Structure formats: C-alpha cells, structure tokens
Amino acid sequence: MASRADNIASNLNLGNFAQATELRQRIWFTIGALIVFRFLSFVPMPGINPLGLVQLAEQQQEGILGMFNMFTGGSLERMSLIALGVMPYITASIVVQMASALHPTLAALKKEGATGRQKLNQYTRYGTVFLCAIQGYFLAVGLEALSSANGIAAVVNPGYMFRIGAVISLVGGTMFLLWLGEQITSRGIGNGISLIIMAGIVAQFPTFAINMFEGGRTGSIAPTIIIAFLVMVAVLILLISFVERAQRRLLIQYPKRATQQGMMQADRSHLPLKLNTAGVIPPIFASSLLLLPLSISSFAGQSIDTTTTSGSIIQSLNQYLQHGQPIYMLLYAIGIIFFCFFYTAVVFDPEDTADNLKRNGGFIPGIRPGKRTADYLEYVLTRITVVGAIYLTVVCVVPEYMIAQTGIPLFLGGTSLLIVVNVTVDTISQVQSHLLAHQYGDLIKKAKLKGRMR
C-alpha cells in the first residue's frame, strides 16, 4: 500500500488537472474572485476627482502612502472603494486574539469549539467596522487638507457629506473584501485573505520593476546596485522556500501491538514542528500595528497647524516613523519578534498536545508522559521559535533598510517577498493535496469495480 501511495504522489503533474474537475472549478473561482478584487481597486470613492488625485499621488509617493499601496495593490493612491484593504481586519484580529489569550471570558469562548470561534469572528468584524470608520474619517479629512494645501482639487465638494460618504464607502469596501476572502477559502484554493494581500503586492510588480530599470537607464540608480538587489531577491526567495519547509520532527512511540501475524510490534511516528510556526502572520501584524497610528497621524496632520505644540508633535512622529527610519525599523523588529512568540503560543498548546499523546498511549522516548512531555514540547518550541524569529527579522528588516538607503522601490522588500513566497508555497501544497485526493478517489473506484467483476 505504501509503494502504491508513493507511485500516486510521484505521478502528480499538470496532466491530472484535466481529470480533476472540482480542482479546476476551485482554481477558476479563485482567479475570478481575484479579478473582481483588481477591478474594485479602480473604482473611486464618491466625490473624488481622479485627475487631481493622480497629480496629488505623484507628489506623495513616499512614506505612508507607498507602504499602504504595497498591501492594497495601488488602491489607496487611487482612493478606490477598497483603499483600506484588509488591514483593519488584521488589526482587529490581533486585538481579539490578544484579548482571548488574556481575558477569561474570551478565553472560555475560544475553548467552546466552532460556536466560540464564530462568536470571536463576530467580535473581530465589529472591530473591523470600528477601525474602518476611524481610518476612513481621518483619510477623508487628510485628503481634503492635502488637496487645499497643494492647490489640487482632488475632492470635488469637501465637507461633512464627503466625509460621511467616504466612511460608508470604505467600510463597505473592506467588508466586501472580507466576504470575498471567505468565499475564496471555502470555494477556492488557499487562504482568501492571504491571497488578496498577495494579489495586491503582485499587481505592483510590473510598475516597480519598470521604475527600477528606468532608474538604471537614466543613471539615478547605479547598475551594480540593481544587480546586487536582484541577487539579494533571488537569495531571499531560496532562503524563504527552504526555511518555510524546515521542520523539527520529534519521535513519538506507541506501545507494542499485536499484528496479523501474531507478532508484537511498536508503532512509531513523528510530531512535526515547523521552524517558522507563525508563518507570515508576525510581519503582517507588526506592519499593520505600525500603519494604524501612522496613517491616522499622517492624514490628521495635514489638517493641523504645525506651528502649534500638537502639530509639531504629530509632524515629528510622522518623520521618525517613516519607512526606513531607525525607530521604525526598531519597532518593526520588536513587533515581529513579539508576534512570533505570541502567535506560536496561540496556535500550538504544549499541554493539549501532551494530553492527546497520553490519551492515545504515545510518548516521547526518554520523556515521561504528562507534565514532563508538555515542558519538553514547550522547551523545544521556544528554541525553534527563537530561530524562526531571527529568520523573520533578518528577512523583513535588513532588505527594508537596504532599500531605504539605496532608493530601490520599497515594494520589493523582504516583507512582500515573504508574503508572496509563503502564500504561493501554501497554495501549491493545497493544489497537490487536492490532486492526491483525486488520485486516491480514482483508485478506490477502480478497486470497487474490480471487486464487483469478481
């Protein structure tokens, strides 16, 4: 049976797509949903002058606008209905997950299974609406002030009606993206929210690549820097692909059991612990937490007099927290390390794993079942997480710093590469799982037919 399974796994190729009807439908549905996402990024909010907005975006390419555009696929600079993307949802999910780990009532909800998770998801959506309303209002106010300060009519009729319409449009756009992501997860391939973020990043590839090579042609960027940067990108892709598949496999042994031949045989298996258990969550969480206050202060600062004390404080905050600044890099690295340990503790509970092993009769050789096993799992997981946190910090922070120093477009940084490679690897794994399940289904049907013929 093992050799037959190996043969099935080795025969997975593109030719099997012709027979996997359900998989083709899932892939086409995912592609269609992502196309809808890209179309929405070109639909402007009510009350926006597109021509004036283009001129304004050209003057505000750096800083917070450029960072947001990396995650929204250029939706923010076009002030589309989905200008905020899914970042408010990610920030709300951070708050709810941290609260569920600290608050007893929410912790009890988390242990109730599907019902508790549904309740926590509802709280996350409420938080998403609240954050969208706050960010949308400050975005509208900042856009009005920015337009008047630069003499560009990006807003047709400034005022409270425009602000209310902008808030309603942005809240509706973000909630539609959440619904679209859920549909991709249930009816398509891969994680819907992650695919939407990746699609926004990939959509910027041609523009930034053209700008980079155009800078090399005009001499604003040295050719050696471009070559070194491309080499760094290739090395990062290989490093990310290798580390994301790396595992620490713990040997699990079960008591001896009688086989069909009457012999006593001990079963063995492995408990795989990923080197980077948290995946792409830490850099996304860390960047979203930094972007929330920075976006509010950036857009609110446009309407505040910089000669006042509050105005000067907001202006100083915007300068120190700009992309590429040392304080931004330090806070970003601290956020990545913190969320590595926090999210790993959320998704993997050593005590529950030790209890499950004990109930099934499994044990780690040399470690007593129960409390000792839980302590050993926590010890191993902590050491692995330290390595994973260092890896994520180096991959995300070092390229960002080099980009800020050399002037290469920030979009091609380590965070965006990490998201693209990780989501791509995860999606390919799911495609292979569907193909493997399809192959096993055909094998079972053939076995049933042969049994009936006999």
Q: Where does 276-350 show beta strands of DSSP type E?
A: none
Residue 430: which CATH number?
1.10.3370.10
| Residue 1 counted as domain residue | no
- Percentage of residues in the chain with pLDDT exceeding 90? 10
3-state secondary structure 149-161: HHCCCCECCCCHH
What's the predicted TM-score (pTM) here? 0.76
Q: Is residue 115 over pLDDT 80?
A: yes
Q: Is residue 282 over pLDDT 80?
A: yes
CA–CA distance from 397 to each of 73, 137, 283, 324, 414 (Å)? Answer: 21, 31, 10, 9, 7
pLDDT the model gives residue 183: 93
Tell me the average pLDDT of the chain.
77
Residue appearing with tokens 């930094």: 290
For the residues 92-113, what does the mean pLDDT come to? 80
For the residues 163-173, what does the mean pLDDT come to? 91
Structural domain range at position 345:
18-453
Per-residue confidence at 447, pLDDT binned at 50, 70, 90? low
Q: Is residue 180 over pLDDT 90?
A: yes
| Residue 8 counted as domain residue | no
| Residue 229 counted as domain residue | yes
- Percentage of residues in the chain with pLDDT exceeding 70? 73
Q: Is residue 46 over pLDDT 90?
A: no
Q: Is residue 8 over pLDDT 60?
A: no
Per-residue confidence at 32, pLDDT binned at 50, 70, 90? very high
Residue appearing with tokens 């309303």: 133
Q: Is residue 278 over pLDDT 50?
A: yes
| Residue 160 counted as domain residue | yes
Better-predicted residue by pLDDT, 326 or 450 = 326
pLDDT the model gives residue 35: 92
| Residue 10 counted as domain residue | no
Q: Is residue 265 over pLDDT 60?
A: no
Per-residue confidence at 175, pLDDT binned at 50, 70, 90? very high
| Residue 3 counted as domain residue | no
Q: Is residue 200 over pLDDT 90?
A: no
For the residues 88-114, what does the mean pLDDT come to? 81
Number of independent structural domains in the chain: 1
44: which DSSP letter? B
| Residue 2 counted as domain residue | no
CA–CA distance from 42 to each of 68, 79, 152, 162 (Å)? Answer: 16, 8, 20, 19
pLDDT the model gives residue 284: 80
The number of beta carbons lying within 10 Å of the beta carbon of residue 168 is: 15
Better-predicted residue by pLDDT, 220 or 65 = 220
Per-residue confidence at 178, pLDDT binned at 50, 70, 90? very high
pLDDT the model gives residue 386: 92
pLDDT the model gives residue 348: 83
Burial class (CB in 10 A: 0-12, 13-18, 19+), 119: middle
308: which DSSP letter? S
Q: Is residue 236 over pLDDT 90?
A: no
Per-residue confidence at 63, pLDDT binned at 50, 70, 90? very low
Q: Is residue 343 over pLDDT 50?
A: yes
Q: Is residue 263 over pLDDT 60?
A: no
Per-residue confidence at 224, pLDDT binned at 50, 70, 90? confident
pLDDT the model gives residue 11: 46
pLDDT the model gives residue 390: 92
Q: Is residue 145 over pLDDT 80?
A: no
